[in-house]
Amino acid sequence: MPRLRPTSLHVAALRIRLLRTRLLRTRVLRTRVLRSHVLLALSTVTALSLAACQRLRPSRGSAAPAAADDALRPLPAARDGARLPDRLDDSTYWRMVRELSEPGGYFQSENFVSNEMGLQHVIARLEQLAPPGGVYIGVGPEQNFTYLGTLQPRIAFIVDIRRQNLLQQLWYKALFELSPTRAVFLSRLFARPALATALATAPVTLSADSLMARLAQLPPDEAAFHRVFAEAKAQLVQRHGFTLDSSDLATLRYVDSIFVHAGPSLNYSSGSSQRGGGRGGFGRMPSFAQIATTTNEAGVNRGFLGSEATYGTVRDLERRNLVIPVVGDFAGPKALRAVGAWLRARDARVDVFYTSNVEQYLFQSTDNWSRFYANVGAMPLAPNSAFIRSSTNRGGFGRGFGGGSSGPAGFLMTQLTSSITEVVSGAQAGRVRSYGDVLGLSKP
């Protein structure tokens, strides 16, 4: 077939098609370039955001770094060459809590707060026996903080037969970490946010008496109660990564509610008789506020709420994960021996063991007391290691304590100390057979 010469109309049509194709290609190219620029910008923003989040949020399983304006204070050097950590990461801390513990047991009281007014009366003696940087073992709730703040151990283990006490210690841990000052701590503990607001510019030398007097005037704040619980839960579960089940969280909320509704008048008898073996009916029990405002024999408040410095020492130990709560029976087969094995592996030795009046209960059974002293004897002990115990006037040591403006004069309970090795060796040799024998080896 003969070739047809393209007419001007054909040429024009071809040119239009070519221009249209070029235009479409240009649009596609521009769209692709624009899309690539947008994707590049989005990926850059995402990377920067993730990096910022990593700086602001500690990774699960690692100890949370301190903020630049809330730096940790230096720890005292570990004593006698002990290889004790400066801090424990979260996963190690939680593993120790679980692996050192035994199944929970029974005690007749929920024991939300101590009933001992003489806590501070043995501190001067203990400071001579146990310089900073050692190992502390204790039992019960907040009374341990007074000894931690003044004796300044390198690490502490709080061993109690009740799992509720372990959870209460975790609750305290969260509040310490979230609260840079005593006023903020108390405002969270009792859901009285007005306290922190009113004392935001108060001098750091404000006395515990003043703190408690102002706290007593404030009603609980229900919204603050819910907010603080959510903050503490997030601190323990999200930030630290502790695996608390629904029962644990319910117990934490219950503990929180007792503090909020009782306020600073909370005492040893507070709580429900239906939970945790609680029992009411104890008479002449001092309140949280009365214990917080008591003093030593020289009239100086050396309790953990007595000064910002003492409070800060306890707070830093908590922030370093160096206060480890353990569920354990003093006469049980595992907890105390497991703590002892952990210490021995690090060339560390027990300096102070606070027993409250647990020994009195151990002597009420046939051989619990002997198993307890066998457990302690299996632990590595410092040469001057000391027991701290609490006794009423039935042991011949009772005397009145009137320290602090709120302290009930004549409250008959005192703290005693004794050599751990003397009591343990006495039990092994048959010289210690009763609680009276233990008190006979004790000094006020």
Query: What is the pLDDT at residue 393?
Result: 57
**Residues 376-403 pLDDT 10s:** 999 999 999 999 999 875 544 444 333 3
Tell me the pTM: 0.81
Task: Tell me whether residue 274 is exposed, middle or buried, using C-beta atoms within 10 angstroms of its C-beta: 0 to 12, 13 to 18, 19 or more.
Answer: exposed
Radius of gyration of the chain (CA): 31
Q: Tokens 């989040």 belong to which residue?
A: 53
Is the separation of the CB atoms in 372 and 340 below 8 Å? no
Asked whether 349 and 386 are in contact (CB, 8 A), the reply is no
Are 79 and 136 a contacting pair, CB within 8 Å?
A: no
Which pLDDT score, from 0 to 100, does residue 283 have? 53
320-346: b or e for each residue (b if 16 or more CB lie within 10 Å)?
bbbbbbbbbbbbbebbbbbbbebbeeb
Residue 56 is predicted with a pLDDT of 34
Question: What is d(CA 54, CA 74) in angstroms, rounded to the nearest whole number?
Answer: 25
Per-residue pLDDT of the chain (444 residues; tens, 9 = 90+): 444 444 444 434 445 454 454 444 444 434 443 444 433 443 333 333 333 333 333 444 444 444 434 789 999 999 989 999 999 999 999 999 999 999 988 887 788 999 899 999 999 999 999 999 999 999 999 999 999 999 999 999 999 999 999 999 999 999 999 999 999 999 999 999 999 999 988 888 999 999 999 999 999 999 999 999 999 999 999 999 999 999 999 999 999 999 999 999 998 888 754 343 333 444 568 899 999 999 999 999 999 999 999 999 999 999 999 999 999 999 999 999 999 999 999 999 999 999 999 999 999 998 999 999 999 999 999 999 999 999 875 544 444 333 333 333 455 578 999 999 999 999 999 999 999 999 999 998
In degrees, to the nearest 5, what angle opens at C-alpha 416 toward C-alphas 259 and 123? 70
Pairwise CA distance, residues 42 & 48, whole Å: 10
Strands 135-138 and 350-356: parallel
Beta strands at 413-419 and 381-392: parallel, antiparallel or unpaired: antiparallel
In this prediction, residue 245 carries a pLDDT of: 96
By three-state DSSP, how is residue 389 classified? strand
Digit-coded pLDDT (tens) for 66-96: 443 478 999 999 998 999 999 999 999 999 9
Q: How far apart are CA 117 and CA 294, in angstroms?
A: 7
Q: Is 375:328 a contact under the CB 8 Å cutoff?
A: no
CA distance 381 to 322: 19
- Tell me how far apart the alpha carbons of residues 288 and 212 are, in angstroms, rounded to a whole number: 9
pLDDT of residue 57: 38
Are the beta carbons of 157 and 148 closer than 8 angstroms?
Answer: no
**Which pairing describes strands 381-392 and 155-160: parallel, antiparallel, or unpaired?**
unpaired
Q: At 65, which amino acid appears?
A: P
Q: Where are the alpha helices (DSSP H) in 82-158?
A: 90-100, 123-129, 143-151
Bridge partners (DSSP) of residue 137 are 157, 353
The two most distant CA atoms of the chain are separated, in Å, by 134
Q: List the domain boundaries for the chain.
A: 1-56, 79-440
Contact 437, 398 (CB under 8 A): no
Residue 399 has a pLDDT of 40
